C-alpha cells in the first residue's frame, strides 16, 4: 500500500473516530426523571359533572389593577378592591384608598371597612379615610366583617379575631386558646384566614389548619364547628383551606380553596352540596380567590389571575 | 556587537505586541467594575452591610452557581443532570416560612390514608424528610441531606399545597463549580445563575438561623 | 494574593427585609434548628495560582536548562494529580479562553483574577520559553502523556490537514460564547469526567475512547482538538527561547525525529533544491492572491450556515420546538416547552428572540468563516515556503517540549569540548 493511501486511511479513521465520538456526546441526552419522581394531582382535578350545578354568567371587568378583595354590600352593590382603590359596581365609581386592601366589608350606609396589612382603614361614603390603630406588631389582617353592632377583623399573624365597636377603639380578643371551653385556638400556617357573620349575628370563622369552620358568639364562646380534611371533593385539601368563604342567604357555605383551586357549596352540617367551579375553570396555581354571595344566591368569585370578577348562577 | 537579523527583529516586535495585548486584555477585564447579574437581593452594597459590591472587584471571591427558588419549576432535572451522583442540589427547609402542619403538602402523598411516618404515605422517593411531633398540632420536618437527591417532588407538593418552605438549593460543600453548570444548561425555567462566592445562597427568607 | 481562610459571619442579607408572616407560637418553647449553609471551597484559588506559576517556571527550567526527560515527566505527573484529580480539572487554561471571550462580548460578565492568570500565564511562558505549559502543566496533556505508551507515527500530510480542526473548534467555541450559547469547550472536554469522577455516560465513553486512542496516537486531543493549543502554537512561534534538541552540534542522525510521536521535528533541508526558485515564487504568489479569496469564501459559507449554527443556542431550539408544536409537527410537550407555556412570555417574543439570534449567528458565522479561511490560507502559504535548515529543529509551533527527543539524542554536552567536525566518542553515549 502506498504511503498516500495509508495517509488517507489514517485521515479517514481519525476523523471518523473523533467526529463520531463528538457527535455521540453532543446528541446523547440525559435521562429525564421517571414516574416515581414526578408529582401530579391531576386525578383530583376531575370533578363529577353531576356535582357541577352552577353555570358561569357574564362577569365584571374592573378598571383597577391587582384585584385583592371582594364584598357584596347589603344594598346589593359589588365592591371590588385593588391597587390603592375600591371600585363599586354597577356605578363604577372608584374610591381611593391609602394602600391595597387585603379584605373589605361594607356597612348598610356604604362605609367600607378595608383591612390593610396591619390595620383597618375606614373609608366613608364621601371618600374620607380614617385609620384605626394596629392591633399588634404581629398583625396580618386577612378578613373583615361588619354587622350593625360590631366590626370583626381576622388577624392571621396574631392568630386571633378582633372585635371592634363601629367607632373603633380597643378590640375584644376572640380565639385565645381555652381548652376548658373547647377553644383549641386558631391554627394558621399561612395568611389565609376568613370569617363571616351569620344571619343570627354569630361569627363563622375558618380554622384553616384543621380544615374546619367554627361558629362563635360575639363574646368568643364556641357554639359549634365542622371539619373535613380530604383531597377528595367532599373535603378541604392542603394546609390551609378553605382559603375564603362566604355565607349564602340560607346559611350554607360557599368555599374557595387554593392549591387545588375550586369553589364549592357546603350544607349547614358541613356535607358537600354541590360544586360551583371545578379546578379546570381556573388558571394553574391561582391564589387569592375571594368569594361573596348576594341575596339572590348568585356566587361572585374574584379571580386575581385573570383580573375579573366571575359570576356563577344556579343552573335551572 | 550583536547583529539583529530582520526576521528576529520582526519576531521581537510581534512578541512585544502580543505581550502588550495580553496585558491589555487582562487589565481591561480585571479592573473593570462588573455588575455581573446583580440580583438586587443581597443588599451588600448598602452602607449598613459594608457598602462594597462583591461583584465589583475581579480580585474578589469568584463566582459560584446557585438556583433561584422564585424561578424553579421543580422539573426534576437537578437530580439527573448534575455531573456528580448524587446531585449537589439538595432540598432546603426554611423554618420561618414553614407552617408546621400535620397535613404537610411536601411530606405526605396526596392520597395518603393516614398522617404518619409510614413509607406508603410519604411523598419523598428516598424518605429523606423526617417528621417529628412538637406539640399539638405542630410537627417539625427536617431534611436528611444524605438521602436527598434533589428531585424536587416535595418542593412541588409544598409550593402547591403549603407555604413553599421547601425549596432546592445548590450545596457548596458538594458542588465542584463547573465553568458551565450542566444543570444550568438544562434548566427549563433558566433558574440558575452565578452568584458571588461570598454570598453563595439565594435563600427565601433572611430570618433563618444559619451556620456555615 | 493568597486569600486567608475567612469565616463569613452572619449578615447574609439575601433578601431585602420584607414582611414575613410570623411563625406560630409554640407553647412548649420550641426553637427551630439552624440551617446549614456551607461556604464554597473556592478558597484554594490562591494556591492554584501559586502552583501554576511554580509549575510553569519549573517546566521552563527542566526543558531549557536541565533537559532531562524524567524530570519533565515527573512534573507532568504532579500536574496530573494536582490540577487534574485534586482540583477536578476546573478551572483550566483551555476553558479560560471562553471566559475571557465572554468578558469581551458581554460587559456584565465578570472574569475573576484566577481565570485571567490561567489564561495569560501559559501564553506568556509560551512567548518566552515555548509550550512548556503543554509539556508538563496542562492536566489534559498530562493524562494523555501518561497513556502514550506505544505511539505510532501519523503521516505528516494527515497531521497537517487535521491541524485545521482545533482552529475550527476554537472558532466555534468563540462563536458560541459571542452568541450566548454557552461554553462548548467545557461541555466536550473528554477528560474532566475522570478528574472530577463524574460525568454523563456519553462523556465518559468519549473520554475513554480518547485515552485508548491516546495509547497509539499520542496526545490526540492536543493535536486535533485543543483550541487553546492554537493560541499557544502561535505564541510559541514567536518564542524568545525554545527547547533545542541537542546541546551541542547536531550530527544529523535523525534519532530525534524518529522518536518524536508528534512529527514536530523538522528535518534539515535537502542538499539540492528540488524545484526552481521561479516556480516556487509563482506558487507563493498564487497562494498570496488566493488568501483573500479564501477569506471571502469562508465568510460566505459561515454566513450561509447560520441555520445549523444557530441551533447551538437553546432559545432557538425552543422556538423551533414551540413553532413545531403549534403547527402540529410535534406531538406532546418537552419539559422546556411545557415550562415556556406556563410562563407569561408570549410566543411572538420568543420567535423575535430566535430571529434576532439567527441574525447574530449569521454575523458571527461570517467572522468565523473568514477566520477559518484566513488560517487555511496562511497554512498553505506556510507549507509552500521552504526554510533552509542545517540541523534537526523542533517546529516551534507544534513542539510540546515534552523532552522525548532529549532522551534519544546521542550528542551530549561533553562533546562540546571536541573540535567541530570530529565524530563523538561512542563511549560517551549515555542511556537515560
C24 touches chain A (CB under 8 A): yes
Between the alpha carbon of residue B4 and those of residues A49, A149, B7, B12, B117, the distances in Å are 96, 106, 8, 10, 85
Question: DSSP alpha helices (H): ranges in C151-200?
Answer: 156-162, 165-178, 184-187, 192-195
- Nearest residue of B to residue C108 by CA position? B36
Among A237, A160, A167, A263, CA closest to A203: A160
CB B135 within 8 A of CB B147: no
Residue carrying the nine cell digits 395568611: A191
Q: At what angle do helices C113-129 and C227-237 cross, to 10 degrees?
A: 40
User: What is the rounded CA–CA span in Å between residue A165 and residue C304?
Assistant: 78
**What pLDDT, on the 0 to 100 scale, is given for residue A245?**
92
Neighbours of C260 (CB within 10 A): 24
A38 touches chain B (CB under 8 A): yes
Measured between beta carbons, the chain A residues lying within 8 angstroms of C19 are: 117, 140
User: What is the rounded CA–CA span in Å between residue C374 and residue C419?
Assistant: 47
CB A278 within 8 A of CB A47: yes
Which are the contacts of C79, defined by CB distance < 8 A and separation ≥ 6?
C55, C136, C137, C138, C139, C142
Strand, helix or coil for residue C341: helix
A14 touches chain C (CB under 8 A): yes
Between the alpha carbon of residue B143 and those of residues B90, C35, C166, the distances in Å are 9, 10, 47
Residue carrying the nine cell digits 416547552: C337
What is chain B's mean pLDDT, rounded?
A: 84
Measured between beta carbons, the chain B residues lying within 8 angstroms of A30 are: 77, 80-81, 186
A284 touches chain B (CB under 8 A): no
Average pLDDT on A174-190 reads 86
Q: Side by side, which strands form the sheet with A195-197? A: A195-197, A203-207, A212-216, A222-227
Which are the contacts of B26, defined by CB distance < 8 A and separation ≥ 6?
C116, C119, C120
How would you write the pLDDT of chain B (212 residues) with one tens digit per residue?
Answer: 456 688 888 889 999 999 999 999 988 888 776 655 565 666 666 676 666 666 655 445 577 899 999 889 888 899 989 988 889 999 999 998 898 988 888 998 888 888 888 888 899 999 999 999 988 888 999 999 999 999 999 999 998 888 889 999 999 999 988 888 999 988 998 899 888 777 788 888 776 777 77
Residue carrying the nine cell digits 386558646: A177
Query: What's the gap in Å between the CA of A37 and the closest CA on chain B?
Result: 6
Mutation for testing the B interface, residue in A44, A138, A238 having most B CBs under 10 Å: A238
Residue A173 half-sphere exposure toward CB, CA atoms < 13 A: 13
CB C182 within 8 A of CB C109: no
Chain mean position to CA C147: 19
Three cell numbers, residue B110: 396526596
Which are the contacts of C217, defined by CB distance < 8 A and separation ≥ 6?
A14, C151, C152, C154, C223
Among C190, C213, C211, CA closest to C202: C190
Average pLDDT on A239-247 reads 89
Beta strand pairing status for C35-36 and B210-211?
parallel
CB A208 within 8 A of CB A189: yes
CB C415 within 8 A of CB C428: yes
* B210 vs C28, C37, C235: nearest CB: C37
Burial track A163-192 (b if 16+ CB lie within 10 A, e otherwise)? bbeeeeeebbebbeeeeeeebbbbbbbbbb
What is chain A's mean pLDDT, rounded?
A: 87
Strand, helix or coil for residue B108: strand
Measured between beta carbons, the chain B residues lying within 8 angstroms of C100 are: 25, 29
Task: Name residue A263's beta-bridge partners.
Answer: A256, A277
* A231 vs B104, B111, B162: nearest CB: B111
Residue carrying the nine cell digits 453532543: A26
Q: What is the DSSP letter of A56?
A: E
- Hey, which residues 195-234 in chain C have their CB within 8 Å of chain A? 200-203, 205-206, 209-210, 213, 217, 220, 224-225
Tell whether the model's pLDDT for residue A269 goes beyond 70. Answer: yes
Q: What pTM, to 2 d.p., does this model score?
A: 0.83
CB C145 within 8 A of CB C76: yes
Among C208, C204, C236, CA closest to C220: C208
User: What is the rounded CA–CA span in Å between residue C375 and residue C360?
Assistant: 22
Task: Name residue A115's beta-bridge partners.
Answer: A103, A120
CB A301 within 8 A of CB A285: no
Three cell numbers, residue B133: 411531633
Mutation for testing the B interface, residue in A177, A189, A191 having most B CBs under 10 Å: A189
CB B94 within 8 A of CB B187: no
Residues of chain C whose pLDDT is less than 50?
Answer: 1-17, 415-418, 424-432
Residue carrying the nine cell digits 360590631: A150
User: What is the rounded CA–CA span in Å between residue C44 and residue C49?
Assistant: 9
**What pLDDT, on the 0 to 100 scale, is given for residue C4?**
31
* A117 vs C19, C27, C203: nearest CB: C19
B:C CB pairs within 8 Å? 213
* A7 vs C155, C224, C225: nearest CB: C155
Q: Side by side, which strands form the sheet with A263-266? A: A244-247, A253-256, A263-266, A272-277
DSSP C32-66: PPPEE-PPPSGGGHHHHHHHHHHHHHHHHHIIIII
Measured between beta carbons, the chain A residues lying within 8 angstroms of C342 are: 284
Average pLDDT on A193-220 reads 91
Measured between beta carbons, the chain C residues lying within 8 angstroms of A16 are: none
CB contact under 8 A, C206 and A21: yes
How many residues make up chain C in this entry?
A: 432
- Nearest residue of A to residue B110 by CA position? A231
CB B179 within 8 A of CB C90: yes
Dihedral angle sign, alpha carbons of residues A220, A225, A230, A231: negative
Q: What is the DSSP letter of A149?
A: S
Query: What's the gap in Å between the CA of B101 and the closest CA on chain A?
Result: 6
**What pLDDT, on the 0 to 100 scale, is given for residue B34?**
61
Query: What's the gap in Å between the CA of C247 and the closest CA on chain A?
Result: 34
User: What is the rounded CA–CA span in Å between residue A95 and residue C335?
Assistant: 45
Tell whether the model's pLDDT for residue A194 goes beyond 70. Answer: yes
C283 preceded by cis ω (within 30°)?
no
CB contact under 8 A, A25 and C188: yes
Which are the contacts of C428, defined by CB distance < 8 A and separation ≥ 6?
C412, C414, C415
Among A207, A196, A195, A216, CA closest to A240: A207
Neighbours of C367 (CB within 10 A): 17
Three cell numbers, residue A152: 370583626
Measured between beta carbons, the chain B residues lying within 8 angstroms of A211 are: 103
Amino acid at each position: 500500500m502506498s504511503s498516500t493511501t495509508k495517509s488517507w486511511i489514517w485521515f479517514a479513521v481519525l476523523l471518523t473516530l473523533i467526529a463520531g465520538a463528538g457527535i455521540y456526546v453532543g446528541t446523547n441526552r440525559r435521562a429525564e426523571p421517571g414516574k416515581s419522581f414526578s408529582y401530579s394531582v391531576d386525578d383530583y382535578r376531575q370533578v363529577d359533572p353531576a356535582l357541577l350545578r352552577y353555570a358561569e354568567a357574564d362577569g365584571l371587568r374592573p378598571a383597577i389593577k391587582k384585584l385583592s378583595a371582594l364584598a357584596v354590600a347589603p344594598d346589593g352593590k359589588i365592591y371590588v378592591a385593588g391597587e390603592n382603590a375600591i371600585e363599586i359596581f354597577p356605578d363604577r365609581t372608584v374610591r381611593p384608598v391609602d394602600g391595597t386592601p387585603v379584605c373589605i366589608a361594607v356597612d348598610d350606609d356604604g362605609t367600607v371597612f378595608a383591612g390593610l396589612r396591619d390595620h383597618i382603614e375606614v373609608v366613608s361614603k364621601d371618600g374620607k379615610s380614617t385609620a384605626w390603630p394596629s392591633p399588634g406588631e404581629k398583625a396580618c389582617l386577612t378578613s373583615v366583617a361588619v354587622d350593625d353592632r360590631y366590626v370583626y377583623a381576622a388577624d392571621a399573624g396574631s392568630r386571633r379575631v378582633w372585635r371592634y365597636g363601629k367607632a373603633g377603639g380597643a378590640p375584644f380578643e376572640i380565639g385565645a386558646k381555652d381548652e376548658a371551653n373547647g377553644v383549641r385556638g386558631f391554627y394558621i400556617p399561612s395568611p389565609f384566614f376568613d370569617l363571616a357573620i351569620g344571619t343570627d349575628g354569630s361569627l363563622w370563622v375558618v380554622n384553616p389548619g384543621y380544615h374546619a369552620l367554627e361558629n362563635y358568639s360575639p363574646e368568643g364562646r364556641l357554639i359549634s364547628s365542622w371539619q373535613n380534611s380530604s383531597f377528595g371533593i367532599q373535603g378541604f385539601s392542603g394546609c390551609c383551606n378553605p382559603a375564603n368563604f362566604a355565607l349564602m342567604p340560607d346559611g350554607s357555605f360557599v368555599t374557595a380553596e387554593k392549591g387545588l383551586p375550586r369553589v364549592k357549596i357546603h350544607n349547614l352540617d358541613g356535607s358537600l352540596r354541590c360544586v360551583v367551579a371545578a379546578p379546570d375553570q381556573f388558571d394553574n396555581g391561582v391564589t387569592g380567590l375571594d368569594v361573596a354571595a348576594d341575596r339572590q344566591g348568585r356566587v361572585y368569585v374574584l379571580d386575581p389571575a385573570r383580573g375579573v370578577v366571575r359570576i356563577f348562577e344556579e343552573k335551572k | 556587537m550583536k547583529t539583529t537579523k530582520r526576521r528576529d527583529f520582526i519576531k521581537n516586535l510581534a512578541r512585544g505586541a502580543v505581550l502588550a495585548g495580553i496585558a491589555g486584555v487582562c487589565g481591561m477585564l480585571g479592573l473593570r467594575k462588573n455588575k455581573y447579574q446583580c440580583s438586587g437581593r443581597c443588599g451588600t452594597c448598602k452602607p449598613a452591610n459594608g457598602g462594597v459590591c462583591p461583584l465589583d472587584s475581579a480580585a474578589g471571591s469568584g463566582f459560584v452557581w446557585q438556583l433561584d427558588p422564585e424561578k424553579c419549576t421543580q422539573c426534576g432535572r437537578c437530580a439527573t443532570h448534575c455531573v456528580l451522583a448524587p446531585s449537589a442540589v439538595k432540598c432546603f427547609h426554611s423554618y420561618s416560612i414553614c407552617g408546621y402542619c400535620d397535613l404537610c403538602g411536601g411530606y405526605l402523598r396526596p392520597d395518603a390514608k393516614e398522617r404518619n411516618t409510614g413509607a406508603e404515605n410519604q411523598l419523598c422517593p428516598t424518605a429523606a424528610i423526617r417528621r417529628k411531633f412538637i406539640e399539638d398540632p405542630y410537627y417539625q420536618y427536617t431534611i436528611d441531606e444524605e438521602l436527598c437527591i434533589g428531585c424536587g417532588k416535595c418542593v412541588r407538593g409544598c409550593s402547591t399545597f403549603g407555604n413553599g418552605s421547601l425549596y432546592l438549593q445548590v450545596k457548596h460543600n458538594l458542588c465542584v463549580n463547573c465553568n458551565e453548570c450542566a444543570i444550568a444548561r438544562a434548566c427549563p425555567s433558566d433558574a440558575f445563575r452565578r452568584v458571588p462566592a461570598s454570598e453563595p445562597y439565594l435563600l427565601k427568607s433572611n430570618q433563618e438561623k444559619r451556620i456555615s | 494574593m493568597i486569600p486567608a481562610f475567612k469565616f463569613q459571619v452572619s449578615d447574609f442579607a439575601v433578601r431585602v427585609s420584607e414582611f414575613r408572616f410570623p411563625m406560630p407560637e409554640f407553647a412548649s418553647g420550641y426553637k427551630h434548628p439552624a440551617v446549614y449553609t456551607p461556604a464554597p471551597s473556592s478558597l484554594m484559588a490562591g494556591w492554584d495560582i501559586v502552583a501554576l506559576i511554580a509549575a510553569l517556571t519549573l517546566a521552563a527550567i527542566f526543558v531549557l536548562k536541565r533537559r532531562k526527560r524524567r524530570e519533565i515527566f515527573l512534573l507532568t505527573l504532579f500536574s496530573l494529580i494536582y490540577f487534574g484529580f485534586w482540583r477536578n480539572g476546573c478551572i483550566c487554561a483551555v476553558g479560560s479562553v471562553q471566559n475571557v471571550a465572554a468578558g469581551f462580548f458581554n460587559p456584565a460578565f465578570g472574569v475573576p483574577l484566577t481565570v485571567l492568570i490561567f489564561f495569560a500565564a501559559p501564553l506568556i511562558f509560551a512567548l518566552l520559553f515555548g509550550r512548556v505549559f503543554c509539556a508538563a502543566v496542562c492536566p489534559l496533556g498530562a493524562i494523555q502523556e501518561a497513556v502514550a505508551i506505544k505511539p505510532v507515527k501519523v503521516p505528516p500530510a494527515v497531521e497537517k490537514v487535521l491541524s485545521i480542526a482545533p482552529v475550527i473548534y476554537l472558532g466555534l467555541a468563540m462563536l458560541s460564547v459571542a452568541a450566548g450559547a454557552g461554553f462548548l469547550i467545557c461541555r466536550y472536554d473528554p477528560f474532566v469526567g475522570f478528574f472530577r469522577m463524574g460525568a454523563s455516560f456519553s462523556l465518559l465513553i468519549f473520554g475513554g475512547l480518547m485515552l485508548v486512542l491516546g495509547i497509539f496516537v499520542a496526545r490526540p486531543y492536543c493535536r486535533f482538538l485543543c483550541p487553546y493549543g492554537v493560541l499557544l502554537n502561535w505564541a510559541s512561534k514567536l518564542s524568545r527561547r525554545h527547547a533545542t534538541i541537542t546541546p551541542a552540534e547536531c550530527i544529523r542522525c535523525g534519532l530525534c525525529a524518529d522518536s518524536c510521536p508528534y512529527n514536530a521535528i523538522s528535518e534539515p533541508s535537502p542538499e539540492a533544491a528540488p524545484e526552481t526558485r521561479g516556480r516556487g515564487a509563482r506558487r507563493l504568489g498564487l497562494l498570496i492572491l488566493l488568501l483573500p479569496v479564501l477569506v471571502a469564501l469562508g465568510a460566505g459559507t459561515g454566513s450561509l450556515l447560520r441555520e445549523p449554527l444557530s441551533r447551538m443556542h437553546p432559545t432557538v431550539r425552543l422556538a423551533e420546538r414551540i413553532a413545531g408544536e403549534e403547527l402540529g409537527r410535534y406531538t406532546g410537550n418537552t419539559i422546556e416547552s411545557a415550562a415556556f407555556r406556563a410562563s407569561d412570555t408570549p410566543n411572538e417574543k420568543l420567535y423575535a428572540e430566535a430571529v434576532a439570534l439567527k441574525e447574530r449567528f449569521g454575523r458571527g458565522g461570517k467572522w468565523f468563516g473568514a477566520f477559518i479561511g484566513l488560517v487555511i490560507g496562511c497554512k498553505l502559504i506556510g507549507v509552500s515556503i521552504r526554510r533552509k535548515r542545517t540541523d534537526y529543529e523542533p517546529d516551534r509551533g507544534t513542539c510540546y517540549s515534552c523532552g522525548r527527543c532529549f532522551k534519544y539524542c546521542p550528542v551530549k554536552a561533553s562533546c562540546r569540548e571536541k573540535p567541530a567536525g570530529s565524530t563523538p566518542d561512542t563511549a560517551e553515549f549515555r542511556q537515560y
